[in-house]
Amino acid sequence: MGSSKPKAFTDEERNLLMLLAGQAAIVIEYARLYEEVNKRLAEQKMLYDMAQRLASATDVSSLTQYVVNYLTQSFKAKFGSLRLLDETGTILLTGAFYGTTDEYTKIANENVQMTMDPATPGGQSPAALAIREKRAQYVEDIRKSRKFAVWRDFAGMGGYTSLICVPLIPVDEPIGVLSLYFARTRRFQREELASLQTAVRTAAIAIQRAVLDERLIREEVTRRALEEVSHLKTEFVSLVSHELRTPLTAIQGYVKLLLAGHTGELNEIQTEFLNTVSRNTDRLVALVSDLLDISRIESGRLELVMEPLDLRQVVENEIELLRASADDKQITIVVDFEENLPKVKADSHRLGQIISNLLSNAIKYSREQSTVKITANQMGKNVLVKVIDSGIGISPEERPRLFQRFYRSEDQRVRSQGGTGLGLAITRYLVEMHGGKIWVESEKGQGSTFSFTISALPTETK
Protein backbone atom coordinates (compact mmCIF):
# COMPACT_ATOMS: atom_id res chain seq x y z
CA MET A 1 0.00 0.00 0.00
CA GLY A 2 1.41 3.40 -0.97
CA SER A 3 0.54 7.16 -0.81
CA SER A 4 2.00 10.41 -2.36
CA LYS A 5 1.69 12.15 0.97
CA PRO A 6 3.62 11.16 4.09
CA LYS A 7 1.35 9.50 6.59
CA ALA A 8 1.98 7.45 9.65
CA PHE A 9 0.11 4.13 9.97
CA THR A 10 -2.03 3.73 12.97
CA ASP A 11 -1.74 0.69 15.16
CA GLU A 12 -5.06 -0.51 13.85
CA GLU A 13 -3.86 -0.19 10.23
CA ARG A 14 -0.59 -1.98 11.00
CA ASN A 15 -2.44 -4.84 12.65
CA LEU A 16 -4.76 -5.09 9.67
CA LEU A 17 -1.83 -5.17 7.25
CA MET A 18 -0.08 -7.87 9.26
CA LEU A 19 -3.28 -9.90 9.32
CA LEU A 20 -3.68 -9.56 5.55
CA ALA A 21 -0.01 -10.51 5.00
CA GLY A 22 -0.41 -13.59 7.19
CA GLN A 23 -3.56 -14.61 5.36
CA ALA A 24 -1.81 -14.11 2.00
CA ALA A 25 1.12 -16.29 3.13
CA ILE A 26 -1.30 -19.00 4.19
CA VAL A 27 -3.10 -18.82 0.83
CA ILE A 28 0.21 -19.01 -1.03
CA GLU A 29 1.35 -22.00 1.04
CA TYR A 30 -1.99 -23.72 0.50
CA ALA A 31 -1.63 -23.11 -3.24
CA ARG A 32 1.88 -24.56 -3.19
CA LEU A 33 0.75 -27.57 -1.20
CA TYR A 34 -2.24 -28.02 -3.50
CA GLU A 35 0.04 -27.95 -6.51
CA GLU A 36 2.44 -30.39 -4.82
CA VAL A 37 -0.40 -32.75 -3.92
CA ASN A 38 -1.69 -32.60 -7.49
CA LYS A 39 1.79 -33.44 -8.75
CA ARG A 40 2.09 -36.40 -6.40
CA LEU A 41 -1.42 -37.58 -7.36
CA ALA A 42 -0.50 -37.27 -11.04
CA GLU A 43 2.67 -39.28 -10.44
CA GLN A 44 0.76 -41.95 -8.51
CA LYS A 45 -1.83 -42.11 -11.28
CA MET A 46 0.96 -42.46 -13.83
CA LEU A 47 2.50 -45.35 -11.88
CA TYR A 48 -0.90 -46.98 -11.37
CA ASP A 49 -1.87 -46.71 -15.04
CA MET A 50 1.52 -48.05 -16.11
CA ALA A 51 1.39 -50.94 -13.66
CA GLN A 52 -2.08 -51.91 -14.90
CA ARG A 53 -0.90 -51.95 -18.50
CA LEU A 54 2.32 -53.82 -17.68
CA ALA A 55 0.38 -56.50 -15.84
CA SER A 56 -1.70 -57.25 -18.94
CA ALA A 57 1.17 -57.26 -21.49
CA THR A 58 3.13 -60.50 -21.92
CA ASP A 59 5.65 -60.14 -24.74
CA VAL A 60 8.90 -58.18 -24.48
CA SER A 61 8.38 -56.19 -27.68
CA SER A 62 5.02 -54.71 -26.72
CA LEU A 63 6.18 -54.06 -23.13
CA THR A 64 9.30 -52.13 -24.13
CA GLN A 65 7.37 -50.10 -26.71
CA TYR A 66 4.65 -49.22 -24.22
CA VAL A 67 7.15 -48.22 -21.51
CA VAL A 68 9.14 -45.88 -23.75
CA ASN A 69 5.96 -44.37 -25.24
CA TYR A 70 4.31 -43.78 -21.88
CA LEU A 71 7.32 -42.38 -20.02
CA THR A 72 8.41 -40.16 -22.90
CA GLN A 73 4.96 -38.57 -22.94
CA SER A 74 4.58 -38.43 -19.14
CA PHE A 75 7.85 -36.54 -18.66
CA LYS A 76 7.31 -34.41 -21.76
CA ALA A 77 10.54 -35.51 -23.43
CA LYS A 78 11.23 -34.84 -27.12
CA PHE A 79 11.90 -38.55 -27.67
CA GLY A 80 12.90 -41.66 -25.78
CA SER A 81 14.58 -45.02 -26.25
CA LEU A 82 14.79 -48.29 -24.37
CA ARG A 83 17.60 -50.76 -24.93
CA LEU A 84 18.02 -54.22 -23.40
CA LEU A 85 21.25 -56.07 -22.68
CA ASP A 86 21.93 -59.31 -24.52
CA GLU A 87 22.27 -62.56 -22.54
CA THR A 88 26.01 -62.00 -22.07
CA GLY A 89 25.41 -58.58 -20.52
CA THR A 90 28.03 -56.98 -22.81
CA ILE A 91 25.90 -55.66 -25.68
CA LEU A 92 23.01 -53.16 -25.65
CA LEU A 93 20.46 -54.22 -28.25
CA THR A 94 17.92 -51.98 -29.95
CA GLY A 95 14.69 -52.19 -28.01
CA ALA A 96 12.11 -49.49 -28.72
CA PHE A 97 12.00 -45.80 -29.72
CA TYR A 98 9.37 -43.08 -29.43
CA GLY A 99 9.34 -39.66 -31.05
CA THR A 100 12.67 -40.01 -32.87
CA THR A 101 13.35 -38.53 -36.29
CA ASP A 102 13.73 -40.88 -39.25
CA GLU A 103 17.42 -40.03 -39.50
CA TYR A 104 18.04 -40.70 -35.81
CA THR A 105 16.13 -44.01 -35.96
CA LYS A 106 18.13 -45.05 -39.05
CA ILE A 107 21.46 -44.38 -37.30
CA ALA A 108 20.28 -46.14 -34.13
CA ASN A 109 19.19 -49.21 -36.10
CA GLU A 110 22.52 -49.29 -37.94
CA ASN A 111 24.16 -49.43 -34.50
CA VAL A 112 21.74 -52.13 -33.38
CA GLN A 113 24.39 -53.68 -31.13
CA MET A 114 26.04 -51.08 -28.91
CA THR A 115 28.96 -52.51 -26.94
CA MET A 116 29.43 -51.84 -23.25
CA ASP A 117 33.22 -51.72 -23.67
CA PRO A 118 34.41 -48.36 -22.20
CA ALA A 119 37.09 -48.19 -24.91
CA THR A 120 34.43 -47.73 -27.61
CA PRO A 121 32.15 -44.72 -28.27
CA GLY A 122 29.11 -46.82 -27.38
CA GLY A 123 30.70 -47.81 -24.09
CA GLN A 124 31.30 -44.13 -23.28
CA SER A 125 27.63 -43.21 -23.69
CA PRO A 126 25.46 -42.06 -20.75
CA ALA A 127 23.35 -45.20 -21.27
CA ALA A 128 26.34 -47.53 -20.92
CA LEU A 129 27.61 -45.63 -17.88
CA ALA A 130 24.17 -45.83 -16.22
CA ILE A 131 24.30 -49.62 -16.54
CA ARG A 132 27.90 -49.98 -15.36
CA GLU A 133 27.36 -47.74 -12.32
CA LYS A 134 23.78 -48.97 -11.69
CA ARG A 135 22.49 -45.43 -11.24
CA ALA A 136 20.82 -42.74 -13.34
CA GLN A 137 23.00 -40.51 -15.50
CA TYR A 138 21.60 -36.97 -15.90
CA VAL A 139 23.09 -34.44 -18.32
CA GLU A 140 21.55 -30.98 -18.01
CA ASP A 141 23.29 -29.55 -21.09
CA ILE A 142 25.31 -31.94 -23.24
CA ARG A 143 26.77 -29.02 -25.18
CA LYS A 144 28.73 -28.10 -22.05
CA SER A 145 29.48 -31.62 -20.86
CA ARG A 146 33.14 -32.68 -20.91
CA LYS A 147 32.27 -36.15 -19.67
CA PHE A 148 30.19 -36.93 -22.77
CA ALA A 149 31.96 -34.68 -25.28
CA VAL A 150 32.09 -37.46 -27.90
CA TRP A 151 28.27 -37.46 -27.98
CA ARG A 152 27.79 -33.74 -28.80
CA ASP A 153 27.54 -34.28 -32.56
CA PHE A 154 25.05 -37.06 -32.07
CA ALA A 155 23.03 -34.79 -29.76
CA GLY A 156 23.01 -32.07 -32.42
CA MET A 157 21.78 -34.56 -34.98
CA GLY A 158 19.04 -35.73 -32.61
CA GLY A 159 18.11 -32.18 -31.66
CA TYR A 160 18.34 -32.57 -27.89
CA THR A 161 20.11 -30.67 -25.13
CA SER A 162 19.31 -32.52 -21.90
CA LEU A 163 19.00 -36.24 -21.31
CA ILE A 164 18.58 -38.73 -18.52
CA CYS A 165 19.42 -42.45 -18.64
CA VAL A 166 17.95 -44.73 -15.97
CA PRO A 167 19.09 -48.38 -15.70
CA LEU A 168 16.40 -51.08 -15.61
CA ILE A 169 17.24 -53.07 -12.45
CA PRO A 170 14.53 -55.60 -11.52
CA VAL A 171 16.48 -57.09 -8.60
CA ASP A 172 20.25 -56.65 -8.42
CA GLU A 173 21.65 -56.51 -11.95
CA PRO A 174 20.66 -54.20 -14.83
CA ILE A 175 18.86 -55.70 -17.84
CA GLY A 176 18.76 -52.52 -19.93
CA VAL A 177 18.37 -48.74 -19.85
CA LEU A 178 15.66 -46.14 -20.50
CA SER A 179 16.83 -42.84 -22.03
CA LEU A 180 14.75 -39.66 -22.27
CA TYR A 181 15.93 -36.73 -24.41
CA PHE A 182 14.78 -33.08 -24.07
CA ALA A 183 15.02 -30.31 -26.67
CA ARG A 184 15.69 -27.62 -24.05
CA THR A 185 17.65 -27.58 -20.84
CA ARG A 186 15.75 -29.65 -18.32
CA ARG A 187 16.23 -29.79 -14.57
CA PHE A 188 14.92 -32.74 -12.60
CA GLN A 189 13.60 -32.15 -9.10
CA ARG A 190 14.40 -34.81 -6.51
CA GLU A 191 10.79 -35.99 -6.25
CA GLU A 192 10.46 -36.07 -10.03
CA LEU A 193 13.61 -38.17 -10.39
CA ALA A 194 12.38 -40.55 -7.68
CA SER A 195 9.09 -40.94 -9.53
CA LEU A 196 10.89 -41.75 -12.80
CA GLN A 197 13.12 -44.29 -11.11
CA THR A 198 10.13 -45.97 -9.47
CA ALA A 199 8.40 -46.20 -12.84
CA VAL A 200 11.52 -47.65 -14.48
CA ARG A 201 11.95 -50.18 -11.67
CA THR A 202 8.33 -51.28 -12.10
CA ALA A 203 8.87 -51.61 -15.84
CA ALA A 204 12.11 -53.55 -15.30
CA ILE A 205 10.34 -56.19 -13.21
CA ALA A 206 7.63 -56.66 -15.86
CA ILE A 207 10.15 -56.80 -18.73
CA GLN A 208 12.36 -59.28 -16.87
CA ARG A 209 9.34 -61.53 -16.30
CA ALA A 210 8.46 -61.36 -20.00
CA VAL A 211 12.08 -62.05 -21.03
CA LEU A 212 12.17 -65.15 -18.81
CA ASP A 213 8.78 -66.32 -20.10
CA GLU A 214 9.89 -65.98 -23.72
CA ARG A 215 13.16 -67.76 -22.96
CA LEU A 216 11.29 -70.63 -21.31
CA ILE A 217 8.95 -70.88 -24.29
CA ARG A 218 11.90 -70.96 -26.72
CA GLU A 219 13.64 -73.61 -24.63
CA GLU A 220 10.46 -75.68 -24.44
CA VAL A 221 9.92 -75.45 -28.21
CA THR A 222 13.56 -76.41 -28.78
CA ARG A 223 13.31 -79.29 -26.31
CA ARG A 224 10.17 -80.64 -27.97
CA ALA A 225 11.72 -80.29 -31.41
CA LEU A 226 14.84 -82.14 -30.28
CA GLU A 227 12.71 -84.84 -28.69
CA GLU A 228 10.75 -85.24 -31.93
CA VAL A 229 13.94 -85.40 -33.99
CA SER A 230 15.41 -87.93 -31.58
CA HIS A 231 12.23 -90.00 -31.69
CA LEU A 232 12.14 -89.95 -35.49
CA LYS A 233 15.83 -90.85 -35.66
CA THR A 234 15.31 -93.77 -33.25
CA GLU A 235 12.31 -95.01 -35.24
CA PHE A 236 14.25 -94.71 -38.50
CA VAL A 237 17.26 -96.59 -37.14
CA SER A 238 14.99 -99.27 -35.72
CA LEU A 239 13.10 -99.67 -39.01
CA VAL A 240 16.18 -99.74 -41.22
CA SER A 241 18.06 -102.08 -38.87
CA HIS A 242 15.13 -104.47 -38.73
CA GLU A 243 14.77 -104.47 -42.51
CA LEU A 244 18.50 -105.13 -42.92
CA ARG A 245 18.70 -107.85 -40.34
CA THR A 246 16.47 -110.36 -42.12
CA PRO A 247 18.33 -110.46 -45.48
CA LEU A 248 21.72 -110.29 -43.72
CA THR A 249 20.86 -113.28 -41.56
CA ALA A 250 19.80 -115.18 -44.68
CA ILE A 251 23.05 -114.28 -46.46
CA GLN A 252 25.04 -115.28 -43.39
CA GLY A 253 23.31 -118.66 -43.27
CA TYR A 254 23.77 -119.41 -46.96
CA VAL A 255 27.46 -118.47 -46.88
CA LYS A 256 28.05 -120.86 -44.00
CA LEU A 257 26.29 -123.63 -45.95
CA LEU A 258 28.50 -122.95 -48.98
CA LEU A 259 31.66 -122.96 -46.87
CA ALA A 260 30.57 -126.23 -45.23
CA GLY A 261 30.45 -127.83 -48.70
CA HIS A 262 26.72 -128.53 -48.77
CA THR A 263 26.52 -127.43 -52.41
CA GLY A 264 29.69 -129.12 -53.57
CA GLU A 265 33.41 -128.87 -53.14
CA LEU A 266 34.96 -125.35 -53.32
CA ASN A 267 38.29 -124.47 -54.83
CA GLU A 268 40.83 -122.27 -52.99
CA ILE A 269 39.75 -118.99 -54.63
CA GLN A 270 36.04 -119.66 -53.99
CA THR A 271 36.77 -120.44 -50.35
CA GLU A 272 38.81 -117.24 -49.96
CA PHE A 273 36.02 -115.13 -51.51
CA LEU A 274 33.33 -116.71 -49.37
CA ASN A 275 35.39 -116.26 -46.20
CA THR A 276 35.67 -112.54 -47.05
CA VAL A 277 31.89 -112.38 -47.57
CA SER A 278 31.35 -114.23 -44.29
CA ARG A 279 33.59 -111.88 -42.28
CA ASN A 280 31.96 -108.76 -43.68
CA THR A 281 28.47 -110.21 -43.24
CA ASP A 282 29.29 -110.96 -39.60
CA ARG A 283 30.42 -107.34 -39.15
CA LEU A 284 27.20 -106.03 -40.72
CA VAL A 285 25.07 -108.31 -38.55
CA ALA A 286 26.93 -107.07 -35.45
CA LEU A 287 26.42 -103.44 -36.54
CA VAL A 288 22.70 -103.98 -37.14
CA SER A 289 22.34 -105.72 -33.77
CA ASP A 290 24.07 -102.79 -32.05
CA LEU A 291 21.84 -100.26 -33.83
CA LEU A 292 18.73 -102.21 -32.85
CA ASP A 293 19.90 -102.36 -29.23
CA ILE A 294 20.57 -98.61 -29.13
CA SER A 295 17.17 -97.81 -30.64
CA ARG A 296 15.39 -100.13 -28.18
CA ILE A 297 17.26 -98.66 -25.22
CA GLU A 298 16.59 -95.04 -26.24
CA SER A 299 12.91 -95.70 -26.92
CA GLY A 300 12.47 -97.62 -23.67
CA ARG A 301 11.50 -100.81 -25.50
CA LEU A 302 14.37 -102.92 -24.18
CA GLU A 303 13.11 -105.12 -21.35
CA LEU A 304 15.20 -107.22 -18.99
CA VAL A 305 14.20 -110.66 -17.71
CA MET A 306 15.83 -110.74 -14.30
CA GLU A 307 16.74 -114.09 -12.72
CA PRO A 308 19.33 -115.59 -10.36
CA LEU A 309 22.49 -116.38 -12.34
CA ASP A 310 25.81 -118.10 -11.70
CA LEU A 311 28.26 -115.43 -12.84
CA ARG A 312 31.07 -117.92 -13.40
CA GLN A 313 28.92 -119.96 -15.77
CA VAL A 314 27.92 -116.86 -17.78
CA VAL A 315 31.58 -115.83 -18.06
CA GLU A 316 32.71 -119.34 -19.12
CA ASN A 317 30.05 -119.40 -21.85
CA GLU A 318 31.25 -116.08 -23.27
CA ILE A 319 34.92 -117.11 -23.08
CA GLU A 320 34.11 -120.22 -25.10
CA LEU A 321 32.55 -118.07 -27.84
CA LEU A 322 35.64 -115.83 -27.89
CA ARG A 323 38.17 -118.66 -27.68
CA ALA A 324 39.03 -118.57 -31.38
CA SER A 325 39.76 -114.82 -31.32
CA ALA A 326 42.02 -115.24 -28.29
CA ASP A 327 43.84 -118.24 -29.79
CA ASP A 328 44.54 -116.30 -33.00
CA LYS A 329 46.66 -113.87 -30.92
CA GLN A 330 47.86 -116.54 -28.46
CA ILE A 331 46.14 -114.64 -25.64
CA THR A 332 45.45 -116.44 -22.36
CA ILE A 333 42.19 -115.64 -20.58
CA VAL A 334 42.46 -116.02 -16.80
CA VAL A 335 39.37 -116.25 -14.58
CA ASP A 336 39.95 -115.30 -10.92
CA PHE A 337 36.75 -115.34 -8.87
CA GLU A 338 36.36 -115.05 -5.12
CA GLU A 339 35.36 -118.30 -3.45
CA ASN A 340 31.70 -118.72 -2.48
CA LEU A 341 30.70 -115.82 -4.73
CA PRO A 342 26.93 -115.28 -4.47
CA LYS A 343 24.68 -115.50 -7.47
CA VAL A 344 23.75 -112.30 -9.23
CA LYS A 345 20.38 -110.95 -10.29
CA ALA A 346 20.49 -110.17 -14.00
CA ASP A 347 19.18 -110.82 -17.49
CA SER A 348 21.16 -113.81 -18.79
CA HIS A 349 21.46 -112.61 -22.41
CA ARG A 350 22.28 -109.00 -21.53
CA LEU A 351 24.80 -109.89 -18.81
CA GLY A 352 26.50 -112.14 -21.35
CA GLN A 353 26.51 -109.22 -23.80
CA ILE A 354 28.19 -106.95 -21.20
CA ILE A 355 30.94 -109.49 -20.50
CA SER A 356 31.37 -110.33 -24.20
CA ASN A 357 31.79 -106.66 -25.16
CA LEU A 358 34.43 -106.08 -22.49
CA LEU A 359 36.34 -109.31 -23.14
CA SER A 360 36.30 -108.93 -26.93
CA ASN A 361 37.66 -105.38 -26.61
CA ALA A 362 40.38 -106.60 -24.24
CA ILE A 363 41.39 -109.32 -26.71
CA LYS A 364 41.20 -106.95 -29.69
CA TYR A 365 43.51 -104.30 -28.20
CA SER A 366 45.94 -106.54 -26.28
CA ARG A 367 49.35 -107.54 -27.54
CA GLU A 368 49.92 -111.04 -28.88
CA GLN A 369 50.98 -113.69 -26.34
CA SER A 370 49.62 -111.56 -23.47
CA THR A 371 47.03 -112.22 -20.76
CA VAL A 372 43.48 -110.96 -20.28
CA LYS A 373 42.16 -111.39 -16.76
CA ILE A 374 38.58 -111.27 -15.44
CA THR A 375 38.00 -111.08 -11.69
CA ALA A 376 34.88 -111.02 -9.51
CA ASN A 377 34.55 -110.15 -5.80
CA GLN A 378 31.64 -109.42 -3.53
CA MET A 379 31.40 -105.76 -2.52
CA GLY A 380 28.54 -105.19 -0.10
CA LYS A 381 25.27 -105.85 -1.89
CA ASN A 382 27.00 -106.02 -5.26
CA VAL A 383 29.52 -108.09 -7.13
CA LEU A 384 32.44 -106.15 -8.60
CA VAL A 385 33.64 -107.50 -11.95
CA LYS A 386 36.91 -106.38 -13.56
CA VAL A 387 38.28 -107.08 -17.04
CA ILE A 388 42.03 -106.37 -17.08
CA ASP A 389 44.25 -106.25 -20.15
CA SER A 390 47.78 -105.18 -20.96
CA GLY A 391 46.88 -103.50 -24.23
CA ILE A 392 47.46 -100.08 -25.78
CA GLY A 393 45.67 -98.17 -22.99
CA ILE A 394 43.52 -95.05 -23.15
CA SER A 395 44.65 -91.43 -22.84
CA PRO A 396 43.18 -89.16 -20.10
CA GLU A 397 41.59 -86.97 -22.81
CA GLU A 398 39.68 -89.91 -24.29
CA ARG A 399 38.48 -91.57 -21.09
CA PRO A 400 35.51 -89.23 -20.42
CA ARG A 401 34.15 -89.84 -23.95
CA LEU A 402 34.74 -93.57 -24.04
CA PHE A 403 31.15 -94.58 -23.24
CA GLN A 404 29.53 -92.13 -25.67
CA ARG A 405 27.67 -93.42 -28.72
CA PHE A 406 29.72 -93.70 -31.92
CA TYR A 407 32.90 -92.52 -30.22
CA ARG A 408 36.06 -93.92 -31.83
CA SER A 409 39.54 -93.18 -30.61
CA GLU A 410 41.83 -91.13 -32.84
CA ASP A 411 44.57 -93.70 -32.20
CA GLN A 412 45.28 -95.43 -35.53
CA ARG A 413 45.85 -98.75 -33.74
CA VAL A 414 42.23 -98.58 -32.54
CA ARG A 415 40.81 -97.47 -35.88
CA SER A 416 42.64 -100.23 -37.72
CA GLN A 417 40.65 -102.79 -35.71
CA GLY A 418 37.29 -101.62 -37.07
CA GLY A 419 34.15 -101.29 -34.97
CA THR A 420 31.04 -99.14 -34.70
CA GLY A 421 31.73 -97.11 -31.57
CA LEU A 422 28.52 -98.50 -30.06
CA GLY A 423 29.77 -101.45 -28.01
CA LEU A 424 30.83 -99.57 -24.88
CA ALA A 425 27.82 -97.23 -25.06
CA ILE A 426 25.50 -100.25 -25.11
CA THR A 427 27.50 -101.85 -22.30
CA ARG A 428 27.08 -98.74 -20.14
CA TYR A 429 23.32 -98.62 -20.84
CA LEU A 430 22.93 -102.31 -19.97
CA VAL A 431 24.96 -102.04 -16.74
CA GLU A 432 22.91 -99.01 -15.65
CA MET A 433 19.65 -100.80 -16.53
CA HIS A 434 20.77 -103.51 -14.11
CA GLY A 435 21.26 -100.84 -11.44
CA GLY A 436 25.05 -100.97 -11.61
CA LYS A 437 27.90 -98.65 -12.52
CA ILE A 438 30.76 -98.99 -15.00
CA TRP A 439 34.08 -97.16 -15.19
CA VAL A 440 37.58 -97.49 -16.63
CA GLU A 441 41.08 -97.05 -15.25
CA SER A 442 43.80 -96.77 -17.83
CA GLU A 443 47.05 -95.15 -18.85
CA LYS A 444 48.32 -94.83 -22.39
CA GLY A 445 50.51 -97.82 -23.25
CA GLN A 446 49.89 -99.56 -19.91
CA GLY A 447 46.66 -101.46 -20.47
CA SER A 448 43.15 -100.89 -19.14
CA THR A 449 40.86 -102.13 -16.38
CA PHE A 450 37.11 -101.97 -17.03
CA SER A 451 35.06 -102.43 -13.86
CA PHE A 452 31.31 -102.78 -13.34
CA THR A 453 28.96 -103.71 -10.52
CA ILE A 454 25.97 -106.04 -10.61
CA SER A 455 23.45 -106.78 -7.83
CA ALA A 456 24.27 -109.83 -5.69
CA LEU A 457 21.57 -112.09 -4.35
CA PRO A 458 21.55 -112.61 -0.57
CA THR A 459 23.40 -115.77 0.46
CA GLU A 460 20.94 -118.41 1.66
CA THR A 461 21.17 -119.05 5.39
CA LYS A 462 21.24 -122.64 6.58
Q: What pLDDT was estimated at residue 209?
A: 83
Distance CA 47, CA 203 (A): 10
Q: What pLDDT was estimated at residue 60?
A: 85
Distance CA 436, CA 451 (A): 10
Q: What pLDDT was estimated at residue 462?
A: 34
Q: What pLDDT was estimated at residue 367?
A: 87
Residue 385, SS3? strand
Q: What pLDDT was estimated at residue 276?
A: 81
Length of the chain (residues): 462
Q: Edge-to-edge strand order for the sheet containing 448-455? A: 332-337, 371-379, 382-388, 448-455, 438-442
The CATH code of the domain at 307-455 is 3.30.565.10
The CATH code of the domain at 222-299 is 1.10.287.130
Q: Please, where in the chain does CATH 3.30.450.40 lie?
A: 57-188
Alpha helices in 150-189 (DSSP H): 152-158
Q: What pLDDT was estimated at residue 374?
A: 95
Q: Please, where in the chain does CATH 1.10.287.130 lie?
A: 222-299
Longest dimension (CA), the chain: 154
Q: Please, where in the chain does CATH 3.30.565.10 lie?
A: 307-455
Query: CB neighbours of 95 closer than 8 A, spacing ≥ 6?
Result: 64, 68, 81, 82, 83, 84, 176
Average pLDDT along the chain, 462 residues, taken 10 residues at a time: 61 72 67 55 60 68 87 90 86 82 66 70 84 90 82 78 91 90 87 85 84 82 74 62 69 80 81 79 72 75 90 93 90 92 93 92 89 93 93 83 75 59 87 94 87 87 37
**Do residues 388 and 370 touch, judged by C-beta distance below 8 A?**
no
Q: What pLDDT was estimated at residue 80?
A: 92
Distance CA 355, CA 320 (A): 12
Query: Which of the following CATH numbers is that of domain 57-188: 3.40.190.10, 3.30.450.40, 2.40.50.180, 3.90.1180.10?
Result: 3.30.450.40
